[in-house]
Structure 1
Amino acid sequence: MDSDIGLWAIPLAILGGAIRVSPPFLFVSLGEVLTERSGRINLGLEGTLVFGAMSGYALAYQTGSPWVGVLAAAVAGSLFGLVHGLLCSLPRVNDIAIGIAMMLLGMGLAFFFGKPYIQPVAPDLPAISFGWWSELQQVQAALRVNVLFLIGIAAAIGLWWMFRATRLGLIIRVVGDSSDAACAMGIRPSVVHTFATAAGGAFAGVGGAYLSLFYPGSWNEGISSGQGLMAVALVIFARWNPIACLWAALIFGGAGALGPALQSAGISQGYYLFYAAPYVLTLGVLIATSSPTRAVTGAPGELSITK
């Protein structure tokens, strides 16, 4: 069978690229949704993502198990989130400033402790081939889905259900909308803030493990390319809805796959410009949501951007 599918190779490559590139966006945005729905912003998730990538790769290499690496990345991310939450519980501390400091700390620690793991090769996370029905290599490659992507879909649905139908979700939403109302109900907002931030950090750590253990599948100091920061804009774009974060992550992932897709289809002239598509999309999202009326639609009342 002829494997040349012509121009169909471009949308197929973008689809496959979106599936491969989107999980870090998805996990970081889900973590930020959880954190922001409790009324706190964590801009340090870029550092958490990078440190999670390093710690996950290191533990996977040392133990020979990629899933131990994922667990280690989640634990490392939760610790970063816990420190962020505890610091922000102190009087007159700004959560945005602490987030920037934690981002720099996470990246610095990752670069320092990760130097011995730049050359060693750790085991990859498993993937499932949903393209078995086709003889075309392009289809098989596009539909090769990592298990963490499927876990991310389940996590998005689970968070959406938690916010709508559980007592825990109600507590988080109440704290995020009004600390005074939460205190009147006997809820301690600082405790909810801290644990939500820690859980959000765990999500970001898992996103980092995906980067180092599957795509691109190695550890280096430039592994993130700002995906943790872009995911914060993604949360605004998704209006703090976990299900919408899934679709937004696929859009951002498709934008990130545009350059490689054009290159794989033989379009080489100017394709480097398309590598900037995720950053242009992030800028567009921030501009589109910067009006005083649209930016806060659906935002928790206790967030800094609503005051």
Structure 2
Amino acid sequence: MDNVGMVLVALIAGALRVSTPFLFVSLGECLTEKSGRINLGNEGALVLGAMTGYAASYETGSAWIGVLAALVAGGGLGLLHGLVCSLARVNDVAMGIAVMLAGTGIAFFFGKPYIQPSAPQLPVIPLGFWSDAPQIRSALDVSPLFFIGLLVAFVMTWAFKNTRTGLVVRIVGDSSDAAKAMGLPIDRVRVIATTIGSALAGVGGSFLSLSYPGSWNEGLSSGQGLVAVALVVFARWNPLACAAAALLFGAAGALGPSLQTVGITQGYYLFYAAPYALTLLIMILTVAPGRVLRGMPGELSLTR
């Protein structure tokens, strides 16, 4: 295989890996914002999920129990955020920052004993079975969490369009006055949506510690939970578009390692900044004055 082919394979494989945490956090944030609430605390849920998942995997010997523990830990932070934000005069954004700091602080404090030990990792699906090259076969070992995330995106899209639950979430997110007139439990819907959204972020964190890069340390997240908020805006609050945007950001994150496979090392650290440069560019282009944010729920805190 020539250099172009090697870079392409490495880029695709890297995109599938790097996009997975973006996928789960952006879907979680999409659900939360569809209900009319912003949750910047998903960064904390991501980090706490990574630590909890790794610790549970190490203690039980089962990586899937680790994923379940990460889901519960992330959901716990989301429940806290949802309940507090249901109180009068509590700002979503400020509370989200507090939850983010709390989640990362708890993870760093309780995660110190698990920095060195090796925990069981999640199994992989070998998409490179068609190749005889060991490098390609190894690169295309994909975590099942990626496909679970895609399934969640399809289910969310279908549910928003075709189910009563999805309609209730959309009504609550678009107009609290209409929701009140219909007798819908606004606070309960938002608490549940926030809890599930943070639980998804926790699962994204478990991917980081149990699949790729496959370890626990305090610098694991690199702000991916916050980048996912920009992803949701870019995707116009559409779950399938969130999945596509996550793959785009994953490819940007995999650009540096992909070029390294063919010996291009100059500007190595610059390539690693590609996802964050892309985030800035997307926010400039999509949130510029005069542009209509199609699909934005009417009850988001930033619009009130």
Choose the corresponding residue for 2:291, options 291, 294, 298.
294
Unaligned runs of 5+ in 1: none
- Matched ranges for 1:135-146 at <5 A: 135-146=132-143
Task: Write the distance in 1 (CA, Å) between the matches of 2:147 and 2:262.
Answer: 27
Task: Write the distance in 2 (CA, Å) between the matches of 1:272 and 1:291.
Answer: 29
Give the Å deviation of 1:221.
0.1
Choose the corresponding residue for 1:69, options 57, 66, 71.
66
Q: For residue 273 of structure 2, give the secondary structure of its aligned residue in structure 1.
A: helix
Choose the corresponding residue for 1:80, options 74, 77, 80.
77
- Contact kept, 8 Å, 1:236 with 1:295, in 2: the verdict is no
Give the Å deviation of 1:134.
1.6
Task: Write the distance in 2 (CA, Å) between the matches of 1:29 and 1:7.
Answer: 31
Q: For residue 113 of structure 1, give the secondary structure of its aligned residue in structure 2.
A: helix
Q: Which amino acid aligns with 2:49?
A: G
1:10 aligned residue: 7
1:202 aligned residue: 199
Task: Write the distance in 1 (CA, Å) between the matches of 2:67 and 2:220.
Answer: 16
Q: For residue 240 of structure 1, give the secondary structure of its aligned residue in structure 2.
A: coil
Q: Which amino acid aligns with 2:113?
A: P
Deviates more, 1:295-304 or 1:4-13: 4-13
- Scaled by the length of structure 1, the TM-score of the pair is 0.97
Deviates more, 1:88-97 or 1:255-264: 255-264
Task: Write the distance in 2 (CA, Å) between the matches of 1:259 and 1:61.
Answer: 31
Task: Write the distance in 2 (CA, Å) between the matches of 1:183 and 1:137.
Answer: 60
2:36 aligned residue: 39
Question: What is the number of residues matched between the two proteins?
Answer: 304
Choose the corresponding residue for 1:155, options 152, 157, 165.
152
- Matched ranges for 1:48-127 at <5 A: 48-127=45-124
Give the Å deviation of 1:141.
2.9
Choose the corresponding residue for 2:262, options 251, 260, 265.
265
- Contact kept, 8 Å, 1:16 with 1:141, in 2: the verdict is no
Q: For residue 252 of structure 2, give the secondary structure of its aligned residue in structure 1.
A: helix
CA deviation profile, 1:110-143 (whole Å, cap 9, x unmatched): 0000000000000010111011112123432342
Choose the corresponding residue for 1:172, options 169, 173, 190.
169
- Contact kept, 8 Å, 1:299 with 1:306, in 2: the verdict is no
CA deviation profile, 1:161-210 (whole Å, cap 9, x unmatched): 01000000000000000011011111011111111000001000000000
Deviates more, 1:178-187 or 1:285-294: 285-294
RMSD over aligned Cα atoms? 1.0
1:250 aligned residue: 247
Task: Write the distance in 1 (CA, Å) between the matches of 2:85 and 2:287.
Answer: 25
Q: Percent identity?
A: 64
Q: Which amino acid aligns with 1:5?
A: D
Give the Å deviation of 1:296.
2.5
CA deviation profile, 1:276-306 (whole Å, cap 9, x unmatched): 0011011111111222443522100001233
- Contact kept, 8 Å, 1:15 with 1:142, in 2: the verdict is no
- Contact kept, 8 Å, 1:296 with 1:305, in 2: the verdict is no
Structure 1 residues 303 and 11, CA gap change in structure 2 (3 angstroms): same
- Scaled by the length of structure 2, the TM-score of the pair is 0.98
2:189 aligned residue: 192
2:273 aligned residue: 276
Give the Å deviation of 1:250.
0.5
